[in-house]
Amino acid sequence: MWESESDAGERGLVPVLGAGGSDRHDGLKTDGFVRRDHSWYVNSDIPSDLLVRVGDVSFHLHKYPMISRSGKMGRVIYESATAAALDPDTAVAELDDLPGGADSFELAARFCYGMAVDLTASNISGLRCAAEYLEMTEDLEEGNLIFKTEAFLSYVVLSSWRDSIVVLKSCEGLSPWAENLQIVRRCSESIAWKACTNPRGVRWAYTGAASGRPPRSGAASPRWNNAGGAAGGGSKESSPGRGQPVPPADWWFEDVSVLRIDHFVRVVTAIKVKGMRFDLIGAAITHYASKWLPGLTKDVVPHAGGGVDEQWAQVSAAGGLHMIIAGPGGKDDVATSAPAREQRMVVESLISITPPQRDSVSCGFLLRLLRLAIMLKAAPALVTELEKRVGMQLEQAALPDLLIPSVGRADTAYDVDLVQRLVEHFLVQEQTEQVSSYSPGRGEAHAQPEREYYGSAAGARMPPANAAAASSSSGLGLNAKARVARLLDSYLSEVSRDRNLSLTKFQVLAESLPESARACDDGLYRAVDSYLKAHPALTEHERKRLCRVMDCQKLSFDACMHAAQNERLPLRVVVQVLFSEQVKISNALAGSSALKAAPDGAAPTRRQLLDATPQSFQEGWAAAKKDINTLKFELESMKAKYLELQHDMDALQKQVTQSPAGEHGGKVGGGGGKAQQQQGPSAWSNGWKKLGRLAKMTGAEAAGPGGGHGHAAAQGEAARKAQRRWRNSIS
């Protein structure tokens, strides 16, 4: 059986391919290839009659060895036989599009000459693609290069974990040949099969990882020596040695993280098909993102201009993508640069392969991924889907992850509209969870393959899928709403310092959760006070509108004490706070008096409860109570004056209705009419004085605390109409 490169290297054995001895080439004897600068020459007594150019490297070869095993070379030599530029006897072939480049062609040429060819996991994919390009099939000669490279792939590479990773990594520059020859698919499925195999049945060796890095502590690379297992059949599990520790469930994370994003997607997709536990898949995606997207672990601070314009990446020599923040006024559109496009592809691919199950990845990871997706202008459909995923587990979020800067906007430093959408998604998800309860059958369906792959030991390291779903399902409801409410209050306190944040946005976000979500409004009060401090130019009406978002009855004692001395709050709100606290104290006193005798034999009296109240609160409440009594006294006086003027108004209306009849009687009766005319001016003068008093009274009602603007306007309108009627009657 073929051995992998790592196993063969330990035993001193190297897989060697050859096309036969040199005697098969009509006496052509070669001692090997010699390189001079950018040219390869064959050590032979016969001069070369074939020049092959692959890129900037030239190969001086012979026609017959190449034609006998390569159909492509036979056609190229025939087509270029009449177009030789240097020598009519020398054919020239240009093979710039050969997959694998000059290195793969050198190995293929050595095989055609019957020389020994060392096959390794690093060169097998390029050599297999080059053999297909050169058409080195069995029709030309039995045991040609296609057959031998395919056998090495099937029996050596696919049976080894390390070699499968190396071959898949080497396929990055061989598209589309590696895809068409199914090398990528077979290696991905081989890796997926080995990742899903029970690690207890694998012979482990602590030999470093596939990328050649030094071995990390506690990590190991497995070895599979069963070729049938690579093809998807059942493998013969070899029992581990005595005392060998059980490998961790995440042993394969580091090895697959060296792959390019498209190949990593293929591996994860194959692992999903084979039934891997979704929390392990999410952990692998998180590990891959932490390596290729270092910006996920860095905090992005918005600049003073109101946000981060763009964020992009540069590819370093180590393969990582490093974040770069471009400030305002940048000339280049970094979002469309090549490094940014590469990083955007990574982000979009990770979003698309993230398992849809709840708690497969952390909410913090999703929020950081969402921040990158917005900054890199990822596909809107993927961004929307990611927002829904964040809303599913918003109660797990932390404030630093929620502070996502605004991109391309100058109004606010942080994206408040995004948080509003996240809260809406959370409420929709919470409502859906209440309607349809969690079904354990689905979780058990996903957990069944995991018991086959990992057993109880790995399950002890990471909880099963149904247990994770059950715990997350129990976290919803009022507890989840309360956590989201605390998170939202902290977010409002942070963004309220932004002077560009409008009152409407603040109010809408504060009122997005139902009232039952908050048992205490202290966090909301801190956000309101912070907003008032950052926006001193608010009008009285805007201050009252802002304070409506909190419930004064839900404030704690300390918050009430702070609000009673807060000069930024409207007077009406301060009175409401003090009144609500007084109601709480009264209710507490009433409840204590209604209780039976205490265990010590006596219930606390009202005086004892008042003595226990802090002195600062008693002084503040005494001053407020005095103001309230003064306002009540002024209101009662105003009501008495109003009743008196109402009586005078009724009397005047009676005089108005009687004046036409008296005037008519005066004209008919002579002397009696003169007497009434003499009394008329005096009565009208008294009426005008009373009307003046009425006008002053209506103005006082409009300015006083007990009167309303609408009532005062109605009284003034009635007085003006009465004046017009009296003037008409006089005239």
What pLDDT, in 10s, does the model give residues 310-337? 333 333 333 344 333 333 444 345 456 7
Q: By the 8 A CB rule, do 249 and 458 touch?
A: yes
How far is the C-alpha of 143 from the C-alpha of 126, rounded, in Å?
Answer: 18
Q: By the 8 A CB rule, do 341 and 321 touch?
A: no
Encode pLDDT of 680-707 as tens digits. 455 555 655 655 565 555 555 444 444 4
Q: Which of 109-123, 250-264, 527-541, 678-692 has the lowest mean pLDDT?
A: 678-692
Using the predicted structure, report yes or no on whether residue 63 has a pLDDT greater than 70.
Answer: yes
| Contacts of the segment 377-383: beta carbons below 8 A, 24+ positions apart | 377/335, 377/344, 378/344, 378/347, 378/348, 378/351, 379/348, 382/348, 382/351, 382/352
Query: For all residues of the chain together, what is the average pLDDT?
Result: 73
What is the model's pLDDT at position 14?
A: 43
Element (H, E) at 427: helix 416-435
Mean pLDDT of 147-152: 94
Q: Which two tokens stand for residue 686?
A: 């008294």
Mean pLDDT of 135-148: 91
Using the predicted structure, report yes or no on whether residue 662 has a pLDDT greater than 70.
Answer: no
Q: By the 8 A CB rule, do 429 and 460 touch?
A: no
Q: Which two tokens stand for residue 662?
A: 């008296």
Which of the residue ranges 76-85, 292-301, 456-465 has the most confident prediction, judged by mean pLDDT? Answer: 76-85
Mean pLDDT of 499-523: 91
Q: Which two tokens stand for residue 664?
A: 């008519």
With bands split at pLDDT 50, 70 and 90, how would you rate the model's confidence at 30? low
With bands split at pLDDT 50, 70 and 90, how would you rate the model's confidence at 670? very low
With bands split at pLDDT 50, 70 and 90, how would you rate the model's confidence at 487? very high
Higher pLDDT, residue 192 or 45? 192
How far is the C-alpha of 44 from the C-alpha of 29, rounded, in Å?
Answer: 6
With bands split at pLDDT 50, 70 and 90, how would you rate the model's confidence at 198? confident
What is the model's pLDDT at position 447?
A: 39
What is the model's pLDDT at position 313?
A: 36
Q: Which two tokens stand for residue 44?
A: 């032979």
Mean pLDDT of 532-550: 91
Mean pLDDT of 559-582: 83
Higher pLDDT, residue 65 or 449? 65
With bands split at pLDDT 50, 70 and 90, how would you rate the model's confidence at 580? confident
Using the predicted structure, report yes or no on whether residue 145 has a pLDDT greater than 60.
Answer: yes
What is the model's pLDDT at position 516?
A: 87
With bands split at pLDDT 50, 70 and 90, how would you rate the model's confidence at 338? confident
Strands 91-94 and 203-205: unpaired
Mean pLDDT of 633-645: 85
Mean pLDDT of 84-112: 82
With bands split at pLDDT 50, 70 and 90, how would you rate the model's confidence at 607? low
Q: Which amino acid is at 270?
A: A
What is the model's pLDDT at position 248?
A: 83
- Percent of the chain predicted with pLDDT > 70: 62
Higher pLDDT, residue 603 or 70? 70
What is the model's pLDDT at position 270?
A: 94
Report the alpha-carbon angle 311-263-380, nearest 5.
40
What is the model's pLDDT at position 645?
A: 87
Q: By the 8 A CB rule, do 369 and 351 touch?
A: yes
How far is the C-alpha of 164 from the C-alpha of 184, rounded, in Å?
Answer: 10
Using the predicted structure, report yes or no on whether residue 166 has a pLDDT greater than 80.
Answer: yes
What is the model's pLDDT at position 320?
A: 40
Q: What region, left, alpha or beta, does residue 238 occupy, with left being phi > 0 and alpha being psi -120 to 50 degrees?
A: beta
Using the predicted structure, report yes or no on whether residue 29 has a pLDDT greater than 60.
Answer: no
What is the model's pLDDT at position 690?
A: 58
What is the model's pLDDT at position 254?
A: 92
> At 446, phi and psi to the nearest 5?
-80, -25
Q: Give the three-class secondary structure for 92.
A: strand
What is the model's pLDDT at position 419?
A: 94
Higher pLDDT, residue 610 or 42? 42
What number of other Cβ atoms are within 10 A of residue 78's Cβ? 11
What is the model's pLDDT at position 529?
A: 92
Q: Give the three-class secondary structure for 139.
A: coil
What is the model's pLDDT at position 619?
A: 65
Q: By the 8 A CB rule, do 628 and 683 touch?
A: no
What is the model's pLDDT at position 39?
A: 86
- Percent of the chain predicted with pLDDT > 90: 33
Using the predicted structure, report yes or no on whether residue 19 has a pLDDT greater than 90.
Answer: no
Q: Give the three-class secondary structure for 12.
A: coil
With bands split at pLDDT 50, 70 and 90, how would you rate the model's confidence at 307? very low
Sign, CA torsion 158/161/164/167: negative
What is the model's pLDDT at position 36?
A: 83
Q: Which of 288-292, 425-429, 445-449 has the lowest mean pLDDT?
A: 445-449
Using the predicted structure, report yes or no on whether residue 667 has a pLDDT greater than 70.
Answer: no
Using the predicted structure, report yes or no on whether residue 223 has a pLDDT greater than 80.
Answer: no
Mean pLDDT of 419-445: 73
Q: By the 8 A CB rule, do 314 and 322 touch?
A: yes
Mean pLDDT of 599-610: 55
Encode pLDDT of 610-638 as tens digits. 555 555 556 666 777 777 878 788 888 88
What is the model's pLDDT at position 236?
A: 39
Reported in sequence order, the residue ranges of 298-416 that DSSP labels E, i.e. its strands, are 310-315, 321-326
What is the model's pLDDT at position 190?
A: 94
Q: Which of 72-81, 149-158, 416-425, 513-522 has the lowest mean pLDDT?
A: 72-81
What is the model's pLDDT at position 572?
A: 84
What is the model's pLDDT at position 186?
A: 95
What is the model's pLDDT at position 665?
A: 46
Using the predicted structure, report yes or no on whether residue 499 has a pLDDT greater than 80.
Answer: yes
Which of the residue ranges 51-55, 453-457, 491-495 has the most confident prediction, judged by mean pLDDT? Answer: 491-495
Q: Give the three-class secondary structure for 688.
A: helix
What is the model's pLDDT at position 721?
A: 54
Mean pLDDT of 11-26: 45
Reported in sequence order, the residue ranges of 395-551 that DSSP labels E, i.e. its strands, are none
How far is the C-alpha of 69 from the C-alpha of 109, rounded, in Å?
Answer: 10
Q: What is the pTM of this model?
A: 0.68
Using the predicted structure, report yes or no on whether residue 649 has a pLDDT greater than 70.
Answer: yes
